[in-house]
């Protein structure tokens, strides 16, 4: 490698490291409510901001300097206000950029765990998401900010079954519901539909219940703690959804789980599975839109999972006597598999 090429690579890596630092500063401000508090205050010095957010003032003073350095804050004397970039990362901002910060820190956590566990082959499971106190509470909001608008504006209109279940009404179940974003979006669109969300983390159930009540959906949507691997419904469902979650149960008995989905559906109902579509050709992973799948597949191994191909999922449903149909979105890396139970 020539000296010039090495210097260019070094510059690229320095820029990547600086980007990670930028998003690290953003993450600290997001999870501790500093962006939100300053948005409400309009302008404040570090001590007033610390008091409004309920944080230690000495940490906040240093955070303000770092946030100013990375262009999240503007300064005038000892007072700070949000820059345009800082305003865009407020979690409640339209099209918030918050998920980039949350996803970056989650990725670094999962990379560190993969680096350690590769030495022994251990796969501790989904509890790794709860190993850092600040990560799990932001996992649901991150997914909602990333996917809720995409679901409502692109996937719902593009998958005919949603219009059908809207006309029919009934019960929709979301396995691995997180903070309930999917069922809230579905309930807003489908006025006659009731929803049940099941998740293994109590933090997610509490968030989902609180958010549904805030939106006036508490009578129609209910959330319970449970194991998506082993569930039985009191009432057959018209729709059972799994959003980027089927791969979490696949390795411990995919065929058995598909049969369980079928048996808990009403005749004519459907399982609606949203999964990242693992490409058949490895060269596809070099395409920027697919690079994240390669990283995700590595860190999914920590949780005991691996990403799936849409055709593989469809074949598993067909083997259980269901009729699958595949829809692709998002440059082809997002797949929706609708598998109907015979009526």
State whether residue 340 is helix, strand or coil.
strand
How does strand 265-276 pair with strand 221-225? unpaired
Determine the distance from the C-alpha atom of residue 171 to the mean position of all C-alpha atoms in its chain, rounded to a whole number: 23
* Burial of residue 15 (number of CB atoms within 10 Å: 0-12, 13-18, 19+): exposed
The model's pTM is: 0.92
Q: Are residues 148 and 191 in the same domain?
A: yes
Q: Is residue 19 part of a domain?
A: yes
Question: What CATH number corresponds to the domain at position 239?
Answer: 3.40.50.150
Residue from 192, 226, 221 nearest 209 by CA: 221
- Cα-based distances in Å from 162 to 94, 129, 192, 242, 337: 25, 31, 12, 14, 12
DSSP state letter for 342: P
Q: Is residue 120 part of a domain?
A: no
State whether residue 234 is helix, strand or coil.
coil
DSSP state letter for 123: -
Domain boundary among 55, 87, 106: 106
Query: How far is it, in rounded angstroms, from Cα 266 to Cα 238?
Result: 6
Q: Are residues 75 and 159 in the same domain?
A: no
Q: In the prediction, which pLDDT does 229 show? A: 80
How does strand 170-175 pair with strand 193-199? parallel
List pLDDT tens digits, range 130-148. 999 999 999 999 999 999 9
Q: Identify the sign of the CA torsion 146, 147, 148, 154.
A: positive
DSSP per residue over 67-112, as a string? HHHTTSEEEETTEEEE-HHHHHTSTTSTT-SHHHHHHHHHHHHHHH
Number of domains in the chain: 2
Q: In the prediction, which pLDDT does 3 show? A: 65
Q: Is residue 125 part of a domain?
A: no
Instruction: Identify the domain containing residue 49 by its residue range.
Output: 3-106
Query: How far is it, in rounded angstroms, from Cα 225 to Cα 234?
Result: 15
Residue numbers in the chain where pLDDT is lower than 70: 1-4
Structural contact between residues 29 and 85, judged by C-beta atoms closer than 8 angstroms: no
Q: Is residue 211 part of a domain?
A: yes
């Amino acid at each position: 490698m020539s000296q010039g090429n090495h210097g260019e690579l070094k510059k690229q890596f320095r820029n990547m490291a600086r980007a990670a630092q930028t998003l690290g500063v953003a993450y600290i401000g997001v999870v501790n409510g500093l962006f939100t508090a300053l948005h409400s205050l309009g302008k404040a010095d570090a001590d007033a901001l610390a008091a409004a957010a309920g944080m230690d003032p000495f940490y906040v003073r240093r955070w303000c300097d770092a946030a100013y350095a990375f262009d999240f804050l503007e300064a005038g004397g000892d007072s700070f206000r949000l820059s345009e970039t800082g305003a865009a990362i407020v979690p409640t901002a339209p099209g918030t950029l918050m998920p980039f910060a949350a996803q970056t820190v989650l990725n670094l956590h999962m990379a560190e765990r993969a680096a350690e566990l590769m030495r022994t082959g251990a796969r501790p499971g989904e509890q790794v998401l709860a190993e850092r106190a600040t990560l799990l509470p932001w996992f649901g909001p991150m997914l909602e900010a990333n996917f809720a608008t995409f679901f409502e504006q692109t996937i719902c209109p593009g998958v005919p079954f949603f219009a059908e279940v809207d006309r029919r009404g009934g019960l929709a179940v979301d396995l691995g519901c997180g903070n309930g974003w999917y069922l809230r979006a579905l309930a807003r669109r489908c006025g006659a539909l009731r929803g049940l969300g099941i998740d293994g983390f109590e933090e997610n159930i509490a968030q989902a219940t609180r958010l549904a009540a805030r939106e006036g959906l508490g009578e129609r949507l209910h959330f319970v703690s449970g194991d998506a691997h082993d569930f039985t419904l009191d009432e057959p469902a018209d729709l059972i959804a799994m959003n980027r979650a089927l791969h979490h149960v696949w390795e411990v008995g995919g065929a058995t789980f598909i049969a369980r989905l079928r048996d808990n559906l009403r005749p004519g109902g459907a399982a609606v599975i949203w999964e990242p579509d693992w490409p058949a050709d490895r060269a596809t992973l070099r395409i920027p839109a697919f690079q994240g799948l390669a990283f995700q597949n590595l860190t999914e191994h920590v949780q005991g999972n691996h990403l799936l191909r849409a055709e593989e999922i469809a074949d598993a449903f067909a083997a259980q006597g269901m009729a699958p149909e595949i829809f692709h979105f998002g440059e082809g890396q997002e797949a929706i598999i609708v598998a109907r139970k015979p009526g």
